Amino acid sequence: QKEVEQDPGPLSVPEGAIVSLNCTYSNSAFQYFMWYRQYSRKGPELLMYTYSSGNKEDGRFTAQVDKSSKYISLFIRDSQPSDSATYLCATVQQAGTALIFGKGTTLSVSS
C-alpha cells in the first residue's frame, strides 16, 4: 500500500462548480497535511497547509483533515478556468522533513 493514495482523475467540471479532491494516507504518525497546485511544466505551489485534524479555509479553498479515517480533502468553491491544474496532496510526519506526495489529480474547469 502506498503511503498516500490519490485518484489521478482527470476531473472535468463546469465553471462555478464545487470541486472535491481527496486523498487517503496510511501512516497515522503523519501530522502535517498540504495541498499543492501544479500547472503544466511548473513547480508545485503551496495552496493550503493544516496541522492535525480540522478544517482550514482560505478564500474559495477549504482543506479538511480527518485523522480518524486518514482522509484529507480539498474543496474549491465557485471553480474558475484558472483553477485548471494538477492538485497534489502531501503529508509529512515532522516539519522540515521531505514531503510524501500523492499522485496528483488533474482538474479541468471549462467556461
Partner 1 sequence: GAVVSQHPSRVICKSGTSVKIECRSLDFQATTMFWYRQFPKQSLMLMATSNEGSKATYEQGVEKDKFLINHASLTLSTLTVTSAHPEDSSFYICSAVRRADYEQYFGPGTRLTVT
Positions in the binding site for partner 1 (CB under 8 A): 6, 8, 36, 41-46, 49, 88, 95-96, 98-104
Please list, residue by residue across 32-67, b when 16 or more beta carbons sit within 10 angstroms of its beta carbon and e when fewer do: bbbbbbbeeeeebeebbebeeeeeeeeeebbbbbee
The residue written with cell numbers 508545485 in the block is 44
Nearer to partner 1, 5 or 75 (CB): 5
Nearer to partner 1, 13 or 100 (CB): 100
94 three-class SS: coil
Shortest reach from residue 40's CB to partner 1, in Å: 10
Shortest reach from residue 96's CB to partner 1, in Å: 4
Shortest reach from residue 63's CB to partner 1, in Å: 16
Q: Sign of the CA dihedral 26, 29, 66, 109?
A: negative
Nearer to partner 1, 8 or 54 (CB): 8
